[in-house]
Amino acid sequence: MKKQLLLGLLSICTFNAVAGLELANTYQDWEHYESKSFDTGEAVILGVSSVKSDGNTETVALRCTTEGVNLLFFNGLPRQELGYSASASFKNAETFTMDVWIKGKTHWATVPLDLLESFYSAESLKVELQGDGEEVEKIAVSLRGFKTMYQTLLPSCK
Q: What ranges do the domains of the chain cover?
A: 48-156
Q: How confident is the model over 101-158, as pLDDT tens digits? A: 998 889 999 999 999 999 999 999 999 999 888 899 999 999 999 999 999 999 888 7
Q: What is the pLDDT of residues 60-71, one digit of tens each?
A: 999 998 778 999
Q: How far is CA 147 from CA 1, 22, 140, in A?
A: 24, 20, 17
- Model confidence at 18: pLDDT above 50: no
CATH architecture for residues 48-156: Sandwich (2.60)
Residue 6 pLDDT more than 90? no
Q: Are 111 and 119 in contact (CB under 8 A)?
A: yes
DSSP structural state of residue 104 = T
Contact 34, 24 (CB under 8 A): yes
Beta-bridge partner residues of 16? none
25-to-33, 68, 97, 116, 135 alpha-carbon distances in Å: 7, 23, 30, 22, 36
Evaluate if residue 23 carries a pLDDT over 90: yes
The beta-strand segments (E) located in the chain are: 22-27, 30-36, 43-53, 59-65, 68-73, 83-90, 95-103, 106-110, 124-130, 136-142
